[in-house]
A = this chain, B = another copy of it.
């Protein structure tokens, strides 16, 4: 009898560019290649893998789209290894939204569910350094608002810092991707309505970021007091506000 490996071996051999991209991906996942590292140039990579440049480029496209690398032209350019796949996941969520596979409500609901669970861990596990990071985020956000800039990035980052404070490495991935998706959805919807309705949206946007920062401050205070009930309640309310804002923009 043949061994099971031979019995269940893939029906069709993988294409060359798939094997190449899988190989590079494995090197990254195993830590042999680290974020920030430059890969050799296309020509050099093609030579080392003994494939044509066309094949290698198709492999690079896969790695680029999945977020493992970016590519820069010109001298000292080339493929550059990245450290996060958040943007790629977020982009796919946007596609899914456009294909009407998911709705704003669904995204909001699951985000609320997950972040509430996360917050419980945060209150159990967070230490002084986490408070400091959150505090720094709020200060930066306030500064931007005083400069009359919407602190969109900082407001997303607040949730990412929270995820890290849960001391569970899965939470930053899940929360980060969904948060990024809502952010991208938000900016896109604002961009679309901006051209139609004029600049009035801008002010509303400023008001909303201000409201978000206030909510964040209240949540941090509750976390500091290790007050689960209040913290969860504030978070829930905050995320519902964000969801409603999205819904209003989408209409």
Which listed residue (B17, B109, B114, B190) contacts A114, Cβ 8 A?
B114
A147 within 8 A of B: no
Known contacts A66-B95, A100-B173, A174-B174; is-contact A113 B110 (Cβ 8 Å): no
Partner of A170, one of B54, B110, B169, B202: B110
Question: In this assembly, does A208 line the interface, its C-beta being within 8 Å of a C-beta of chain B?
Answer: no
Task: Name the interface residues of A34-75: CB closer than 8 Å to any CB of B.
Answer: 54, 57-58, 61-62, 65-68
Chain B residues positioned under 8 Å from A222 (CB to CB): none
Q: Is the CB of A92 within 8 A of B99?
A: no
A96 to B176 Cα, complex, angstroms: 11
**CB atoms of B66 and A3 under 8 A apart:** no
Query: Could you say which of A131-139, A191-199, A211-219, A234-242 contacts chain B?
Result: A191-199
Q: Which chain B residue has the least Cβ–Cβ distance from A73?
A: B12
Q: A4-B191, A92-B85, A95-B85 are in contact. Are A110 and B171 (CB under 8 A)?
A: yes
State whether the Cβ of A226 lies closer than 8 Å to any Cβ in chain B: no
Query: B-facing mask of A176-197, CB < 8 A → 1, else 0?
Result: 0110000000000011001100
How near does chain B come to A135, taking the closest CB pair, in angstroms?
A: 25
Nearest Cβ on chain B to A187's Cβ, whole angstroms:
8
Q: How far, in whole Å, are A61 and B66 apart by their CA atoms in the complex?
A: 12
- Pick the 3 closest A-B CB pairs, nearest first: A113-B117, A85-B96, A110-B170
Residues of A within 8 A of B (CB): 3-5, 17, 25, 28-29, 54, 57-58, 61-62, 65-68, 83-86, 88-89, 92-93, 95-103, 106-107, 109-110, 113-114, 116-118, 121, 168-174, 177-178, 190-191, 194-195, 199, 202
Give 5 CB contacts A-B under 8 Å: A66-B92, A85-B99, A86-B96, A89-B89, A97-B170
